[in-house]
Amino acid sequence: MVRIRTHKIADQLGSLGEFIAGQRRAARLSLRQLAAQTGISNPYLSQIERGLRKPSAEVLQQLAKALRISAETLYVRAGILDPDDHPATSVEMAVFADAAITERQKRVLIDVYTSFVAENSRSANDQAPINAKQESRGAGQVGDHSFGAAQESA
C-alpha cells in the first residue's frame, strides 16, 4: 500500500478547492447559487473552496453536475482516481477553463469535440478490416491501388 504524505493531501485539497472556485466563477455563479444548486450549505462549500474540507465522492458529483464538468475530473483532482488511469483531454480542460464563453457554448463545443473523436474512432475501426482485405489481395486485381498506379505510369 502506498502512503500519501499529509502535506500532499493538503496541496491536493487546496488545488481542488481552487479549481472548484475557478469553475464556479467561470460559470458566473455565486457561492450561494452553487450551494443551492447542489444542496450543500454555504459554509461547507466555502470550506471546500478554501481547501479546509475534503468533500465526499457524492458531493463532488453534485458539484460536477452543477458546474457542468465531468465528475471524473473532480475525482482525479481530489485524489480519488489515479490521473494516469483517467486523463482529461487538454481540449476539454481548455474549454471548461475559458471564461470568455458561456456555459452553453462550452457544452456545445465539448459535444462537437466528443462527436468528432467518436466518429474518428469508428472510422479507424471500420478502415482496419478494409485495409486488411486490400493487403491480402494479389497484385493486379481490381481494387488494388498499385495496379492503377502501374497502369498510369505505363
Q: How many residues does the chain have?
A: 154
Residue 46: its pLDDT value, please?
Answer: 96
Same domain, 106 and 35: no
CA distances from 37 to 50, 67, 71, 103, 106 (A): 19, 9, 16, 15, 19
Q: Residue 66's domain spans which residues? A: 1-87
Same domain assignment for residues 76 and 30: yes
- Decide if 40 is inside a domain: yes
pTM for the whole structure = 0.53
CATH number at residue 41: 1.10.260.40
Assess whether 78 and 93 both reside in one domain: no
| C-beta separation of 110 from 92 below 8 A | yes
In a domain, 147, yes or no: no
> pLDDT, tens digit, for every residue of 1-37?
443 433 444 444 458 999 899 899 988 999 999 999 9
Predicted confidence band of residue 41 (pLDDT cuts 50, 70, 90): very high
